[in-house]
Structure 1
């Protein structure tokens, strides 16, 4: 698929949408600019890339949590009159992340990425070591989004059970585990630590 018109895409899951776009766009000429905060130097890099001539359509994907005002202002003319065969895709979490002058130059799409749901298929209140090993083995090749969903579901089911009580530091372990997922830590390491934590917290008085 070739996207022919520049646009802004709003989503709650930036990385998931980026993966989706990269998989959908049938073009080897795709350049990505990914940063937490889009600054003036990033805008200059985007501008420089846009003026590198290509015969085919080149998609320039810009993804950031925050877009600085001065960086957006520096792109106004470029977005209004893009070079031939250049398509911009700006990704953010809110329409308000973009200046009205930017929004007026591009179409806006809302992409509601549905959170991945997983069926753990393990009884956290009765699991023994052999079941824990099987669970870890089953998800040893889990990708980021699936692993993130597993961590969240482990916490949800533990709390809803009413018989698994975590102290504050143990609850922090789940937050740290989500951070480790983003750092590409092995799924076996993350899941083993959490299952052992749950195992020892069972039946503990709150």
Structure 2
């Protein structure tokens, strides 16, 4: 199987996406995981939901089966569990995740899924540093400015995404370990860690990469 083992659909109209995907399929060829509370409201995808997905994924089938996950957010624990099966997917299983934003998922999850955006894509402000010409002095000034901005958790995660986009635009390919560093950055943002502390190891890794380091 290739790099991508499924699809990610970015949309706030999850039910429409589910209908489009399942319309041409037979009933037994797909299963939908859409956690809700006792009032029918969609809730976060949690570790117990991920365990159910994993169990369902290993049911034998001679035909391609679609495992469809839809939630407004995905817990870090559930994503870590899902990552294991996305890295070594069972035969004939195709994963489809639906989320309202890329920020809902870790970079290592995103790297395994072919992304389809069904809404106007949010435009990030250009990242402040030239990723191809990082200097220690430039990194230092950038980190000082980060602390002056006092961004919210959401804004910090968007800033991390802006760095990822800048790296992609600069044709800088990240290794698995480097992608995991971005996963850790997202977790730190959710834990209200100071923004400069989050960006320091990321930027030093990129700077070291430019210098031919490992």
- TM-score, normalised relative to structure 1: 0.50
Residues 9 and 89, structure 1, Cα contact 8 Å, conserved in 2 = yes
User: 1:81: how far off?
Assistant: 1.3
Q: How many residues align?
A: 110
Match of 2:19 in 1: 19
Q: Which runs of 5+ in 2 are unaligned?
A: 36-42, 121-214
1:39 aligns with 2:46: yes
Q: Name which one, 1 or 2, has greater alpha-carbon Rg.
A: 1
Residue 18 of structure 1: CA displacement? Answer: 1.3
Q: How does 1:115-154 map onto structure 2 within 5 Å?
A: none
SS of corresponding position for 1:62: strand
Which of 61, 68, 71 pairs up with 1:61?
68
- C-alpha separation in 2, matches of 1:37 and 1:105: 21
Q: Does the 8 Å contact 1:39/1:71 carry over to 2? A: yes
Match of 2:108, SS? helix
| Structure 2 partner of 1:9 | 9
Which 5+ residue runs of structure 1 have no aligned equivalent? 114-206
User: Alignment RMSD, CA only?
Assistant: 1.9
SS state of the match for residue 25, structure 1? coil
Task: Give, in whole Å, the separation in 2 of the partners of 1:88 and 1:94.
Answer: 17
Equivalent residue runs for 1:94-173 within 5 Å? 94-112=101-119
Secondary structure (helix, strand or coil) at the match of 2:112 reads coil
CA contact (8 A) 2:5 2:112 kept: no
Is residue 14–residue 91 contact of structure 1 (8 Å, CA) maintained in 2?
A: yes
1:30 touches 1:59 (CA, 8 Å); kept in 2? yes
